[in-house]
Each structure stands twice: as structure tokens, then as C-alpha cells.
Structure 1
Amino acid sequence: MALIDIAEVSRRTGVPASTLRYYEEKGLIESLGRRGLRRTFDAGVVDRLSLIALGQRLDYR
């Protein structure tokens, strides 16, 4: 299982680290631990963030 830290997730997705922490607080994503002071995530979190972004762009009219 490949682990990536919060800075790398942010770089890959363009989602600010503060938003990632908020999504984690709300239960949308889950960190698997820490490397030093940085949260680490499974690489699959990038796909989950893509789905969140897609859902945000939907038009519910």
C-alpha cells in the first residue's frame, strides 16, 4: 500500500491542505496515520477527491 503525505495529495489534486483536513473531519476521507507532523493517506484518496470535485460541479436544477 503506497502512502502519500498531505502535501503530496494537495499537490496532485490542487485541494488545499486545510480543505483536506476539513474533509477528514467530516468523514469524507480518512488519513492512515502520520509521518512526523504530516498526515498520510492511501493513494486512493486522489480518486475519492476527484469524485468529491465531480459532485460539487453537478447542477441540481
Structure 2
Amino acid sequence: MRDTLIDIGEVARRTGLAASALRFYERKGLIEAEGRNGLRRVYLPETLDRLALITCARDA
């Protein structure tokens, strides 16, 4: 399972969101990190789908 986790930098790159936005969404409870890889937060791939929905709602 650990192989399927994506670090915050890669999530930011794939979604076009800033890492600070991801941390903000996490603080607000919209997404959840699965843990850390060293100092970097890591997320499940499903988080990308959730972020797409959040972005769509934000831009509506």
C-alpha cells in the first residue's frame, strides 16, 4: 500500500494547486493525509479525485 501513496509535491503538480492550498484543505477537513514520508505529507490516489471535485465547486 505504501507504494500507492503520493507526496504533497506530486499532488500539487498533478492538480495545479499550491502545496499551501493542500495544507489549507487538510486543516479544514476536506482532505486527509495518510501520513508522512519523512517531513512530506503523503496522500492516497483517491485524493486527486476529491481535489478535482473541490476545485470544481470552488470555481462554480
Which of the five TM-score ranges fits, normalised by the shorter chain? over 0.9
What secondary structure sits across from 1:11 in the alignment?
helix
What secondary structure sits across from 1:27 in the alignment?
coil
What secondary structure sits across from 2:33 in the alignment?
coil
Amino acid at match of 1:23: Y
Amino-acid identity (%):
57
Q: How many residues align?
A: 58
Higher helix share: 2
Greater C-alpha Rg: 1
Unaligned stretches of 5+ in structure 2?
A: none
Unaligned stretches of 5+ in structure 1?
A: none
TM score, norm. by length of structure 2 = 0.92
Which segments of structure 1 move beyond 6 Å, counting only runs of 4 or more?
A: none
Aligned residue number for residue 21 of structure 1 = 23
Cα drift, residue 57 of structure 1: 2.0
CA RMSD of aligned residues (A): 0.7
What secondary structure sits across from 1:31 in the alignment?
coil
Distance 1:57 1:22 in 2: 17
Amino acid at match of 1:14: G
